[in-house]
Amino acid sequence: MNKALTIAGSDSGGGAGIQADLKTFQELEVFGMSVITAVTAQNTLGVHGVYPMTPEAIIQQIQAIGEDIGTDAVKTGMLFSSDIIEAVSEQVRKYRWENLVVDPVMIAKGGASLLQQEAIFAMKTYLLPIAKVITPNIPEAEVLTGLTIKSAEDKKEAALRLVELGVQTVVIKGGHDEDDSESTDLLYDGREFHTFTNKRIPTKNTHGTGCTFSAALTAELAKGASVYYAVLTAKEFIQAAIEDGIEVGHGHGPTNHRAFRKKRELGNR
């Protein structure tokens, strides 16, 4: 049984964070495990409270996994503070978990900050140098690189700068592209650039798309896929989840985590 671990915050609304990650792992047939870094009071209308765990509690959760079950891949989501980032980085190094996917969660859909300002330095110093893949959206890539990203060339420059921080592979997501008709993700593996373009779906129900994409990528790495093919599957997974949407709540609703499997089952008939 292939195994994947998510180290992230809990979303009480079920659309993002730990909940989205575990749903994605299950749909992609890997055994999912979790380390909760913070509890959020959250729904489709926004984040109403953030309650971080202590570094000690997070370390104990990681050690419980590392000393018994182990994992084939790890993703990080909301880490919130520099102390938490340092603790997580130390444990990942301790257990030599090489398939590390970093989703640098900084701001919620409604605008709430999910990462303290001083934690950005810790992320760049401790976490990115041990990451196999980082999956920032455009605003996150701007914060991490200091660049303003408006064009495809800007994305490439940002990817180059992120690799200089020690990351092996960069995926800059295109959900914030200015093009209204399509979005383009950029993959840079330190040698070559690859782009993945999808039709943009007109919907407000995109809560948790970043978490879901990075979780799908992590699940595929856990099964032994290359980064390139893991990204291909993750793109297909999130595109299906957005296209076959569900209506939950009164704000930015979640995506449909069942859609990818349903699409494949219909295609195999």
94 an active-site residue? no
132, 173, 218, 253: the catalytic one is 173
Please work out, in degrees rounded to the nearest 5, the angle formed at the alpha carbon of residue 207 by the alpha carbons of 202 and 211.
120
22 neighbors 32 (Cβ within 8 angstroms): yes
Find the catalytic residue in 3, 14, 24, 211: 211
Candidate list 206, 212, 218, 255, residue with the active-site label? 206
Residue of 145, 210, 212, 255 with catalytic role: 210
Residue 211 bears catalytic tag: yes
CB atoms within 10 A of CB 45: 13
Distance, in Å, from the CA atom of 77 to the CA atom of 57, rounded to the nearest integer, reads: 17
Angle, in degrees to the nearest 10, between helices 209-222 and 227-243: 140
Sign for the CA dihedral angle at 265, 266, 268, 269 comes to: positive
Q: Which residues pair with 50 in a beta bridge?
A: 40
CA distances (Å), origin 115, targets 61, 69, 77, 229: 21, 29, 10, 30
Catalytic one of 13, 174, 208, 253: 208
Catalytic pick among 209, 212, 218, 255: 209
Contacts of 220 (CB under 8 A, 6+ apart): 28, 229, 230, 233, 234
210 is catalytic: yes
Question: Who's near 24: CB < 8 A, 6+ residues apart?
Answer: 212, 215, 216, 219, 237, 257
173 counts as catalytic:
yes
Which residues are CB-contacts of 228 (< 8 A; sequence separation ≥ 6)?
A: 187, 189, 194
Residues recognised as catalytic: 173, 206, 208-211
